[in-house]
Amino acid sequence: MGRPGVVRIGSGRRDCLFESKGCKVTDGAVKTARVLVAADKFKGSLTAVQVAERVTAGLRHVVPDLQVETLPVADGGDGTVAAAVAAGFERREARVTGPLGTPVTAAYAVRGATAVVEMAEASGLQHLPAGEFAPLTATTYGSGELLAAALDAGARTIVFGVGGSATTDGGAGMLTALGARFLDADGKPVGPGGGGLAELVEADLSGLDPRLAGIDLILASDVDNPLTGPKGAPEVYGRQKGATEDDIAVLDAALTHCASVLGPEHAVLPGAGAAGGIGYGALVGLGARFRPGIEVMLDVLGFAPALARATLVVTGEGSLDEQTLHGKAPAGVAAAARAAGVEVVAVCGRLGLPAEALDGAGIRRAYALAELEPDPAVSMAQAGPLLERVAESIARDFLS
């Protein structure tokens, strides 16, 4: 008999010993334990990079010489540029128009002829003063300026991550920044934001930047909502941007009217309702093609080769819940790992999924900070140290 925790495999003359935890056999050979940390941010507490750092530290408290590879991930929403930069893209900045019309500094990422542009960097909720919203007038103009900056940088492929927006203007502001004109009955530009689209009479896209015709623009989003209706952008996401019930009705009607002018067939496409309808603007005006954000980002970040080197994957995000299963980063990571036969565990601040749902998603086990600290405020404030303790538990359970 072998010693506890060790399995003996006989193969003719060849026997091999390997640890039942921390190693796996590939074609009769031992593969040394190597952990891939591919987690999203813990929103409000830790960036994806910080999550990776804390998990790595906790794992190595228990297994000091453990091989760990980190690949912070994102699903197209806020944090997408940071994930690209962590994977080796160059961070660049541009001064653009924020959602309220005032200048903001926005980052994008470039590697070769590929750029990663995150609309939230220009038009996201983070650019609104605390407690201040502008549901009817917030504009995506700065997102168009950020796309133009990527074109100026020589991008031929642009991954356009959309999510976390402060806007519900159907992408009209973005298209205007790129050369389109949205005119009222007097031939004057309509007002900013979704509210102004109620006055739209003519949408002229003939002046769009000609460089757009020669690029591959990928609309990367974790939502597949249509533009309007019960599952549309105003109804589903308007309230988080400060919209009242009356505002939602106004915005839904205005976007419906805009689509009747620009092209109603695009309004029902998956992703049209993403980020306040900027998805619609990208689809109808820029010739974008929609792909689930996490799938795009895993390709861009080089997840497949990193996965091939791993014996265990640690993924996660702040709240592991029902929304996670619908296109969020941990679900995408787990699906890819399961297809490759690599075991997955997850870390999170709060766990809202039963064991059977985790198993169905390909996640062997989830570790929540709330198990160590039930007070949400304390858990968020102490997320880093708590995450290290959680990672220690993962190492004891799966690697020691």
- Do 268 and 341 lie in one domain? The reply is no
- Do 33 and 148 lie in one domain? The reply is no
Asked if the model's pLDDT at residue 6 lies above 80, the reply is no
Domain boundary among 273, 294, 315: 294
More confident residue, 365 or 44: 365
The per-residue pLDDT for range 30-68, each reduced to its tens digit, is 468 999 999 999 998 999 999 999 999 999 999 999 999
- For residue 11, being part of any structural domain is answered with no
Task: Compute the distance between CA of residue 236 and CA of residue 276 in angstroms, rounded to an integer.
Answer: 10
Asked if the model's pLDDT at residue 2 lies above 50, the reply is no
The per-residue pLDDT for range 186-236, each reduced to its tens digit, is 999 999 999 999 999 999 999 999 999 999 999 999 889 999 999 999 999
- For residue 12, being part of any structural domain is answered with no
Tell me what pLDDT residue 28 has: 47
Phi, psi of 286 (to 5 degrees): -115, 0
Tell me the whole-structure pTM to 2 decimals: 0.88
- For residue 277, being part of any structural domain is answered with yes
Confidence of residue 14 (pLDDT cuts 50, 70, 90): very low
The per-residue pLDDT for range 267-294, each reduced to its tens digit, is 999 999 999 999 999 999 999 999 999 9
Asked if the model's pLDDT at residue 21 lies above 80, the reply is no
Tell me what pLDDT residue 137 has: 98
CATH number at 214 reads 3.90.1510.10
- Do 176 and 101 lie in one domain? The reply is yes
Asked if the model's pLDDT at residue 124 lies above 70, the reply is yes
- Do 66 and 86 lie in one domain? The reply is no
Tell me what pLDDT residue 131 has: 87
Task: Compute the distance between CA of residue 68 and CA of residue 70 in angstroms, rounded to an integer.
Answer: 7
Asked if the model's pLDDT at residue 26 lies above 70, the reply is no
- Counting residues of the chain whose pLDDT is more than 90, the rounded percentage is 88
Asked if the model's pLDDT at residue 27 lies above 90, the reply is no
CATH number at 30 reads 3.40.50.10350
- For residue 4, being part of any structural domain is answered with no
Q: CA–CA distance from 213 to each of 36, 146, 175, 206 (Å)?
A: 38, 17, 14, 12
The per-residue pLDDT for range 147-196, each reduced to its tens digit, is 999 999 999 999 999 999 999 999 999 999 999 999 999 999 999 999 99
Q: Domain count for the chain, please give it.
A: 2
- For residue 320, being part of any structural domain is answered with yes
- For residue 14, being part of any structural domain is answered with no
Nearest to 194 by CA among 97, 276, 118: 276
Mean pLDDT for all residues in the chain: 92
Least confident of 6-10, 131-135, 237-241, 389-393: 6-10
- Do 175 and 259 lie in one domain? The reply is yes
Confidence of residue 3 (pLDDT cuts 50, 70, 90): very low
- For residue 27, being part of any structural domain is answered with yes
- For residue 175, being part of any structural domain is answered with yes
More confident residue, 26 or 280: 280
Tell me what pLDDT residue 8 has: 26
Domain boundary among 243, 259, 294: 294
- Do 115 and 58 lie in one domain? The reply is no
- Residue 387 tokens read as 């995450």
- Do 222 and 322 lie in one domain? The reply is no
Q: Average pLDDT for residues 78-84, to the nearest whole number?
A: 93
- Do 104 and 194 lie in one domain? The reply is yes
Task: Compute the distance between CA of residue 298 and CA of residue 147 in angstroms, rounded to an integer.
Answer: 21
On the CB side of 362, CA atoms within 13 Å amount to 23
Domain boundary among 231, 262, 294: 294
Segments forming the whole domain that contains residue 383: 21-71+306-398
- Do 119 and 29 lie in one domain? The reply is no
- Do 192 and 244 lie in one domain? The reply is yes
- Do 246 and 222 lie in one domain? The reply is yes
Q: Average pLDDT for residues 316-320, to the nearest whole number?
A: 96
- Do 101 and 175 lie in one domain? The reply is yes
